[in-house]
A and B are shown apart, each in its own frame.
Chain A
Amino acid sequence: MAETAQYTPRTRLIITEATRPALRRFVRLHHDAGRGRTVLLAPERIVEPDEIAVDVLKLCDGSISLGAIAVELAKTYDAPELDIRADITDLLQDLADKGYIKDHSIGDDR
């Protein structure tokens, strides 16, 4: 098969404080007006993030790191930064494992 020649195995994206997360091009944060909620539209899936997760995802534009997002949201919610950072890491790792997240800090910016 022709494609085997250039094949390089893919690896799992591990989310850390330094990750500059963004949604992959084919995943859309969509305001579902009819049902009064925000959803993620993805291949064969509709994910319903809670309000805090929506706030996180709005900041995931590839320009700032997860650490910086945690600082910002800790202020907004007046909550301990460490807790927020742990929550965001879990959320984004889960979405990364579904293939929805890219990391601009490692040049993955498609």
Chain B
Amino acid sequence: MVMIDESTARAEIICANAPEGMLAELTHRCPLQCAYCSNPIELERVNHEMTTAEWKSVFTQAAEMGVLQIHLSGGEPTLRTDLEEIVAHTSALGLYSNLITAAVTIDRARLARLVDCGLDHVQISFQDADPENSNRIGNIKGGFDKKIAVAGWLAEMDVPLTVNAPMHRQNIDNLEAVIDLAERLGAIRLEVAHVQYYGWALKNRAALMPTYAQTMRSAEIVARAQERLKGIMGIDFVVPDYYALTPKPCMGGWASRFLNVTPSGKVLPCHAAESIAGLKFDNVRERRLRDIWMDSTAFNAFRGTEWMREPCRTCDRREIDFGGCRCQAFAVTGNAANADPACAKSSFNLGLVAMAEREAETAPPPFVYRRFQKAVV
């Protein structure tokens, strides 16, 4: 008699559709206070953070369901004193690990320990190539010099570095200097990412929104640098989609290739998903990761194309950009099932572009720096 092992059959189905990448927000604590942070306004507090054992179980479950790469992020992940143990665990599971850090809270010895534990790659954020402006944007004294030092240690240890440079109106005119800096630091990749507007960035949109002319110029600078640096440093460019005609694709579609775990164990289809009011997120403290991936309401809410309305429902780009960003659709139109307002077919598009231009041409208001809210019970 042939025995059908149901658990194996189920595991195979899950693997074929499993996410390849997982973002682990180990903590929301951070020494910087960047006004463009994509973390939610309601940051999660240290006493809600998962324990080392809980995180290890999450990574084990992730590897079992088919995740290949993990991004250790935050907040600032190096504030977790158990980071070495976590990295060693993910490395033993065969996961490719990426540390996403502001690089102001790590010394050489600790970096070396993390590399010994199997850390594969490091991404350092730079707020600007100009030290003073960089420190101002992150609201941190002396941060810039520390980042430069960490990048130097990585080069000595032959650990690959990606420089991440979030761009907005208060640093965009220094883009060429940012590219030079990344090249000099020996980065193998540079991400020039125009800020996306949700979380803290949405609160600070008027202080961040570049003009159309600045945006177009940045695209030209990147294109020239990509040509010049071919084979030396790759440059990924995230365009600011308020000025584009078609929206930025939601990465492979909502709940299709990626998941995000918050410090307290909530599992999100994308790092900004909590900005969508009304969605309920399951927690790994209560359900297995694979069950959340397969069955939770938040993951199924915008999976595939069934949920779409016009103009997306009948649009021939619906499986290319998946209707754009759900979070932006919610933030601007009030309904996450609408087309991304960055799409020219959205009835909200003209208003959005006009608003962006208006904001960009007015003097920037002061930053609302990213902080924990007061008076939380």
Enumerate chain A residues within 8 angstroms of B230, measured Cβ to Cβ. 12, 97
Q: Are B232 and A43 in contact (CB under 8 A)?
A: no
A/B interface sample: 29 pairs, CB < 8 A: A2-B148, A3-B185, A10-B232, A10-B233, A11-B232, A12-B230, A26-B120, A28-B96, A28-B120, A30-B94, A32-B68, A34-B12, A34-B18, A34-B66, A35-B66, A41-B96, A41-B120, A43-B98, A43-B121, A43-B162, A43-B188, A44-B69, A44-B123, A46-B68, A46-B69, A97-B231, A98-B234, A99-B233, A99-B234
A39 at the interface (CB under 8 A from B): yes
Within 8 A of A (CB), among B52-71: 65-66, 68-69
- Given contact pairs A41-B68, A97-B230, A35 touches B16 in the complex (Cβ within 8 A): yes
Which single residue of chain B is at the shortest CB-CB distance from A34?
A: B15
Binding site for B on A (CB under 8 A): 1-4, 7, 9-13, 24-26, 28, 30, 32, 34-35, 39, 41-44, 46, 96-99, 110
Enumerate chain A residues within 8 angstroms of B94, measured Cβ to Cβ. 30
Q: Are B16 and A26 in contact (CB under 8 A)?
A: no
Assembly CA distance A26 to B186 (angstroms):
15
Within 8 A of A (CB), among B228-245: 230-234
Which single residue of chain A is at the shortest CB-CB distance from B181?
A: A1
Within 8 A of A (CB), among B1-49: 11-12, 15-16, 18, 20-21
Enumerate chain B residues within 8 angstroms of A28, measured Cβ to Cβ. 96, 120
Q: Which 10 A-B pairs have the closest CB atoms?
A: A12-B231, A34-B15, A34-B66, A41-B96, A99-B188, A43-B121, A97-B231, A26-B160, A10-B232, A43-B160
Assembly CA distance A110 to B65 (angstroms):
33
Which single residue of chain B is at the shortest CB-CB distance from A24?
A: B160
Which single residue of chain B is at the shortest CB-CB distance from A1?
A: B148
Enumerate chain A residues within 8 angstroms of B159, measured Cβ to Cβ. 26
- Given contact pairs A35-B16, A44-B98, A3 touches B184 in the complex (Cβ within 8 A): yes
Q: Are A46 and B189 in contact (CB under 8 A)?
A: no
Which single residue of chain A is at the shortest CB-CB distance from B96?
A: A41
A26, A32, A43, A98 — which one has the most chain B CB atoms within 10 A of its CB?
Answer: A43
Q: Are A10 and B186 in contact (CB under 8 A)?
A: yes
Within 8 A of A (CB), among B160-190: 160, 162, 183-186, 188-189
CB distance from A77 to the nearest CB of B (A): 28
Assembly CA distance A12 to B66 (angstroms):
35
B152 at the interface (CB under 8 A from A): yes
Q: Are A12 and B15 in contact (CB under 8 A)?
A: no
Task: Return the contact of B184 from the options A7, A41, A42, A96 (Cβ within 8 A).
Answer: A7
B158 at the interface (CB under 8 A from A): yes
Assembly CA distance A10 to B183 (angstroms):
8
Assembly CA distance A2 to B12 (angstroms):
52
Enumerate chain B residues within 8 angstroms of A97, measured Cβ to Cβ. 230-231, 234
- Given contact pairs A2-B148, A3-B152, A35-B16, A44 touches B184 in the complex (Cβ within 8 A): no
Q: Are A30 and B231 in contact (CB under 8 A)?
A: no
Task: Return the contact of B69 from the options A13, A24, A41 (Cβ within 8 A).
Answer: A41
Assembly CA distance A43 to B20 (angstroms):
13
CB distance from A23 to the nearest CB of B (A): 12
- Given contact pairs A4-B184, A41-B96, A46-B69, A12 touches B232 in the complex (Cβ within 8 A): yes
CB distance from A28 to the nearest CB of B (A): 7
- Given contact pairs A39-B68, A46-B20, A26 touches B121 in the complex (Cβ within 8 A): yes
Assembly CA distance A39 to B189 (angstroms):
20
Assembly CA distance A102 to B365 (angstroms):
48
Q: Are A13 and B231 in contact (CB under 8 A)?
A: yes
Assembly CA distance A50 to B183 (angstroms):
31
Assembly CA distance A4 to B148 (angstroms):
11
CB distance from B249 to the nearest CB of A (A): 17
Assembly CA distance A12 to B232 (angstroms):
5
